[in-house]
Amino acid sequence: MKTTHFFLVPVSLLIITLGFMAGCNNPTGGGGGGGGGSTKAPWIYCGASAAKNISIINGTTNTRVGSIELGGRTPYHMAASIDGKKLYVTTDTNEVVVINTATNTISGLITIETPATISQTKSFGMAVTKDGKYLYFTCYDLSNQVRVDLQNNNTYEVIGTSMNNPKGLILNETGTIEFINDQDTIITYTTSPWVYKADVTGSGTPVYGFALKDGKVYAAAFNSLTGECYVLNSATGTIEELITAEGATNFVGVVSIPGMNKLYVAQKNTTGKLNIIDTSSTPTFESTIITGETFTMANPTYMAATTNGKYVYVMDISYAHAQLCVVDTDTDKVVAEIPVNPVQGEYDNNVVVVYK
């Protein structure tokens, strides 16, 4: 039974001197930036779970320039508003932190008070609709998904209450179909109204990462035995292919690279590898595998691409600390490492790119 509750969230604005301007993000394209234009530069945000803050990276110099403290909250998944002016961060509390990206300060909280079982908004999947109206996010530790009306005072609705530890999600190009992983099954819903559509036949492993490319949804399977990626039709939700990467296991993140016929898929294990999907004809895994080479890339997980497709930022959970690895997509090589966490963090911190 669907539980619905609407709650008007008070917003308080904290003004401090640290200021950066930000543009917009494309939440349905694997977490990369969007709409920035040639005169705007990328700024990268990623959660530092151990430090309980959000790291800010200057994408022009690929250096960490500061952090946003979350008042003792642990950050999990994030998504940016379509105009890039706000960043939404799920946490280990029942609050979603709203960050003003112009000032890099907390500007408000979306508090999920009903049902009381949502003690934390910890999420592995978030998306903002392209019209900027709704924010969707899964509540991993519970059986819920939340939809927030961003244009109506952040009122919210708890949906999908029969789910079992939902993980990743993505909306198709038109925002009319949602793909979401529910335990070990990919499920599709229509979004207006939000109703169950179908289980995707053939899916049977957890999926944390989804990406859109040329009318297809790529779902990276977290499988300890084989490296599998489901390729689905984004309009119908049906599986078109299941492609495998020899010797790969435990896929987490997948990112579409703008302007190129390829995607990267990250293996969360100690091998420190990114696999490449070639989409120039039939989607297939390339034999080329990206490693850290002279850099240390231990446990790559979530990723985001810049809008020009030049760089991919990879969240890497190493044994000593968490870092971002910067991959040059022309050469398929790691060209920089950026420390973002004082100790090893959790792999449910994703990466978001906005533009200023």
Spatial distance between the Cα atoms of 242 and 274, rounded to a whole number of angstroms: 18
Residue with tokens 């530790």: 141
Residue 8 located in a structural domain:
no
Residue 36: predicted pLDDT: 43
Residue 159 located in a structural domain:
yes
Residue 347: predicted pLDDT: 59
The residue segments making up the domain with residue 301 are 27-355
Residue 10: predicted pLDDT: 38
Spatial distance between the Cα atoms of 324 and 354, rounded to a whole number of angstroms: 16
Spatial distance between the Cα atoms of 195 and 336, rounded to a whole number of angstroms: 44
Cα 206 to Cα 93, 146, 217, 251, 264: the distances in Å are: 24, 20, 15, 10, 18
Residue 12 located in a structural domain:
no
Tokens of 289: 């595998």
> How many Cβ atoms from other residues are within 10 Å of residue 236's Cβ?
13
> How many Cβ atoms from other residues are within 10 Å of residue 251's Cβ?
29
pLDDT along the chain (356 residues), means of 10: 35 31 33 51 90 93 95 95 95 96 96 90 94 93 90 93 88 94 90 89 85 97 93 94 94 97 92 94 96 88 96 84 90 93 70 94
Spatial distance between the Cα atoms of 170 and 209, rounded to a whole number of angstroms: 9
Residue 150 located in a structural domain:
yes
What CATH number has the domain bearing residue 97? 2.130.10.10
Q: Considering only CA atoms, which of 153, 152, 156, 179 is closest in space to residue 168?
A: 179
Residue 168 located in a structural domain:
yes
> How many Cβ atoms from other residues are within 10 Å of residue 327's Cβ?
27
Phi, psi for 154 (deg, rounded to 5): 60, 30
For Cα atoms 86, 310, 84, give the angle at the middle one, nearest 5 degrees: 10
In eight-state DSSP terms, residue 74 is P
Are 273 and 293 contacting, i.e. CB atoms less than 8 angstroms apart? Answer: no
- The structural domain count of the chain equals 1
Residue 14 located in a structural domain:
no
Spatial distance between the Cα atoms of 98 and 44, rounded to a whole number of angstroms: 16
Cα 209 to Cα 147, 296, 336: the distances in Å are: 19, 23, 23
Residue 48: predicted pLDDT: 84
Are 244 and 337 contacting, i.e. CB atoms less than 8 angstroms apart? Answer: no
